[in-house]
Structure 1
Amino acid sequence: MGMMELHADLEAQIGRWRGYVQRRQAISPADVDELEDHLREQIAERQATGLDDEEAFLVAIKRLGNLDAVSREFAREHSDRLWKQLVLVPEDSGAAGAPSWRELAVVLTLAVGAGVAIKAGLAWLGDGAVLARNLGLLVFPFLASYFAWKRRLTARVGAVLLVSFAALAVVLNVYPFAAGGSTEVLAALHAPVVLWLLAGIAYAGGRWRSDSRRMDFVRFTGELAIYFTLLALGGAVLIGLTSAVLQIVGVDLEPVLEDWLLPFAVPGAFVVAAWLVEAKQNVVENIAPVLTRVFTPLTIAMLLAVLAVLAAAGGLTDVDRNLLILMDAILVLVLCLLLYSISARDPLAPPGLFDALQLVMVVAALAVDAVMLTAMLTRIAEFGFSPNKIAALGLNVLLLVHLVRAAWLSVGFLRGRRPFTALERWQTRYLPVYGIWAAAVVVVFPPVFGFA
């Protein structure tokens, strides 16, 4: 193993330790930075005595563990590694502190605030295209506010986020979109992507350039989807049972459901789900690897079926536009699964069967993307340009670049020529490209295509 690979493994171990510490409720981002600096100093001192990277890390984290209960807990949970023997020291008795009622109060206040914003939007903006453009703006600022409070954002970062939210709101509401036009629909679809990345900056505590924090945000996104789905399913069951009981006694719940329950429950559940991910992240991390292992082979089967459908569709110009849109959604889903799988994987584990399955999934997605790109270029040559076609073409080109590089790095990892951290870094450093493209679709496309 060369010196470069040794340092890459060391950075992976430090990144894993940092990600663990970041998720402790009592540790602020500033404290995490201080702890990491202290850890790196300890490692450098050990390396100066002649220890290699692995030995220096183990001894340094042992010394830090004697000073820091979080590191000791980290060693206990990762008992399959040598950290348990080197780091685990007797722990003082005493239970962990109770959940913070102050944080719960903040979360519930923001959840209600998001519901009030949606209710006001329905009253002032109606339920048409104007509301669709502004829907994300009514919810995401509350999510970002929770992260800003949780991460103790600096005034500078907070000001940048406020200006960004305000600028997006101005664009979405000042542009003279044609009613029902393509650019209006595209702006409504791509604005949430920009908003989500702005929320990611708040989640990362303003340190968006950090690869580890970007990967934490990827992991958070997947876990948020899990929790929100669980809350939605549970809420649907409760509402269904309540509605059935009230119907028996002659009471119709539908008006209350449409006017009050859903406008408050859906955005409120979104904020509460984010809080649950923060509060119970360790529980979800045990579920994440299982979910990725279940859905990866299923996704491969779906992609192969899609390829068969596209092959049987005949001429590429005859492929239905709705099918192409659906294929875009499938490719985005595959990308999300890939990112979530990588975020849930132990970066220090050796290559295995599941890594090979992921490579098969990426190759299958590349084949689907290549067919779709060919179909889109054929349709553009046949029928000319349009905002929808250019937006779809741009997204597919971005996906193609992302997946090609991911496949190349995966092959290198499976062959033992590249560390897994190289694959991780590619995912996190490419993410802002999607935000830039989404911002271009929202800001640039409307005037270029005459707001049609």
Structure 2
Amino acid sequence: MNSNNPIIDNIANPHELERMYREEPDAFKKSFTYAWEQNSNSPVLGVWYQRLYFQDKIRTEKAPLLQKDFITMGILAILAGITTRILFHYVDDNTIAPINIVFGILLFMAIYFVTNHVPNKKVLYTLASSFLISGIFLNLLPVELTDSIILVYIHLPIFLWVVVGLAFTGNEHGRGSTRLAYLKFNGEFAILYACMAISGMLLTGLTMQLFKFVGMDISEFYFENVVIFGAAALALVAVYLVSRNLKLAKNIAPYIAKIFSPLVLVTLLVYLITVMVVGKNPFLDRDFLLSFNGVLLAVLAVTIFSITESGKDEKKTISDYMNVALIILALIIDSVALSAIVFRLSSYGISPNRLAVLGVNILIWANLVVIMLSYLRFLQNKTGPLAIQDAVTKYLPVYGLWAAFVTFTFPLFFN
């Protein structure tokens, strides 16, 4: 044995090799290089070689692809920033509606997904026509804030979000697993983008203050030419990082889901008790009914986020029971909201706002029922967690179709 090399000395002692690696991985790698050169036929060292350098080999093999992805992201990020800045100029002049700015981000996100995994022509034509028709239709509408046009401004981003989901899933848009991956992507994207946005705000504040020290106010120029451009470009950077399996967002997302579910549950219980004590009536108070629906959407979002981050573990956890409790409360809220909307329709007549809220509440109620039934079967050991996730993902196109219906028909029916 070579007493100068601890790895060769302990080549027959796997426990000691593992201890050495865990205590000083860098020193272990240095010693391993010499040991491998002297004993490249050793099966033990062969296993260690793959363990130490497997990821390095993958990165080396994927280097050209990584470079291509990075260049694609850089080009699309710059184009997204420039497009958003141009759109903002026309928005500032009241030439076009402010909601046009979503095209400067969502369009290039869709292009990024398509360039990485080119789908078939049917999907490509659907994507292109969806963005083109949406852009033309939106800008044919008058730039005014009537009820039906406000509904377009609310529902168009939802429709385009589903269209971006089609670009993400590509040829596998019918599979629940790929739709689930898109939902997970959105959660991780939101976390990462929020972190970068906070950093950007700190940089903006520092920059403003530095220029104020020399007597210059650059706030308007900086916002119009740096903040707007950067906000759009950062979206593409976040898409790239999440797509490249950045561990930060992926590691944080499950913990956020586990923390927020009980917090939202407790907050919602306190809120509902307070509502009953105060005596607020969603049947008569329009603003309260809107806030009630806002709470419902928030609960639905948290529940779906928690389900998508729960993984495929067959074992029941406290998070599953939290999700069930959240779904039950959401169903109660939605049932009250539906009753209030029907009451207002029968009392005050049909309006675009009431029809839109009625439609989305019916969709959410049906979605919650399907998720609830899947969860009950899971808790009774009749199905696995995949059935719950399928109950969530199969509703994505339904929301997209409803958003498209409101966007493209309400301005025609309600002038």
Query: If the length of structure 2 is used for normalisation, what is the TM-score?
Result: 0.82
Consecutive unaligned residues in structure 1, runs of 5 or more: 1-87
Larger of the two Rg values belongs to structure: 2
Instruction: Give the C-alpha shift of residue 284 in structure 1.
Output: 2.5
Count of residue correspondences = 361
Q: Quick one: distance in 2 between partners of 1:234 and 1:316? A: 40
Equivalent residue number for residue 97 of structure 1: 59
Give the alignment partner of residue 384 of structure 1, picking from 333, 342, 349.
349
Provide Cα deviations, 1:222-255, integer angstroms capped at 9, x if missing partner: 1111111111111001111221222122121212
Instruction: Give the C-alpha shift of residue 263 in structure 1.
Output: 1.7
Q: 1:294 to 1:432 in 2, by over 3 A?
A: same
Q: 1:340 to 1:90 in 2, by over 3 A?
A: farther
Equivalent residue number for residue 119 of structure 2: 153
Q: 1:232 to 1:392 in 2, by over 3 A?
A: same
Equivalent residue number for residue 295 of structure 2: 330
Q: Quick one: distance in 2 between partners of 1:193 and 1:280? A: 25
Equivalent residue number for residue 360 of structure 2: 395
Equivalent residue number for residue 143 of structure 1: 109
Equivalent residue number for residue 166 of structure 1: 132
Equivalent residue number for residue 44 of structure 1: none
Equivalent residue number for residue 369 of structure 2: 404
Q: 1:89 to 1:428 in 2, by over 3 A?
A: farther
Q: Quick one: distance in 1 between partners of 2:168 and 2:362? A: 28
Q: 1:315 to 1:282 in 2, by over 3 A?
A: closer
User: 3-state DSSP class of the match of 1:205?
Assistant: helix
Q: 1:323 to 1:127 in 2, by over 3 A?
A: farther
Aligned CA RMSD, in angstroms, stands at 2.1
Equivalent residue number for residue 346 of structure 1: 311
Equivalent residue number for residue 163 of structure 2: 198
Does the CA contact (< 8 Å) of 2:304 and 2:392 recur in 1?
A: yes
Does the CA contact (< 8 Å) of 1:306 and 1:368 recur in 2?
A: no
Identical amino acids, percent of aligned pairs: 27
Does the CA contact (< 8 Å) of 1:214 and 1:428 recur in 2?
A: yes
Tell me if 1:227 matches 2:192.
Answer: yes
Equivalent residue number for residue 337 of structure 2: 372
Instruction: Give the C-alpha shift of residue 402 in structure 1.
Output: 0.9
Equivalent residue number for residue 73 of structure 2: 107
Letter in 2 for 1:339: I
Equivalent residue number for residue 73 of structure 1: none
Letter in 1 for 2:103: L
Equivalent residue number for residue 133 of structure 1: 99
Does the CA contact (< 8 Å) of 2:149 and 2:411 recur in 1?
A: yes
Aligned residue runs from structure 1 range 307-318, under 5 A: 307-311=272-276, 312-318=278-284
Aligned residue runs from structure 1 range 175-186, under 5 A: 175=141, 177=142, 179-186=144-151
Does the CA contact (< 8 Å) of 1:115 and 1:265 recur in 2?
A: yes
Instruction: Give the C-alpha shift of residue 433 in structure 1.
Output: 0.7
Does the CA contact (< 8 Å) of 2:96 and 2:143 recur in 1?
A: no
Equivalent residue number for residue 41 of structure 2: none
Q: Quick one: distance in 2 between partners of 1:405 and 1:250? A: 61
Instruction: Give the C-alpha shift of residue 369 in structure 1.
Output: 1.4
Tell me if 1:358 matches 2:317.
Answer: no
Consecutive unaligned residues in structure 2, runs of 5 or more: 1-46
User: 3-state DSSP class of the match of 2:59?
Assistant: coil
Instruction: Give the C-alpha shift of residue 121 in structure 1.
Output: 1.2
Instruction: Give the C-alpha shift of residue 90 in structure 1.
Output: 7.6
Give the alignment partner of residue 86 of structure 2, picking from 120, 145, 154.
120
Provide Cα deviations, 1:399-427, integer angstroms capped at 9, x if missing partner: 11111221222122112222222111111
Provide Cα deviations, 1:296-317, integer angstroms capped at 9, x if missing partner: 0111122213322432334443
Equivalent residue number for residue 208 of structure 2: 243
Instruction: Give the C-alpha shift of residue 108 in structure 1.
Output: 1.7
Provide Cα deviations, 1:4-57, integer angstroms capped at 9, x if missing partner: xxxxxxxxxxxxxxxxxxxxxxxxxxxxxxxxxxxxxxxxxxxxxxxxxxxxxx
Query: If the length of structure 1 is used for normalisation, what is the TM-score?
Result: 0.75
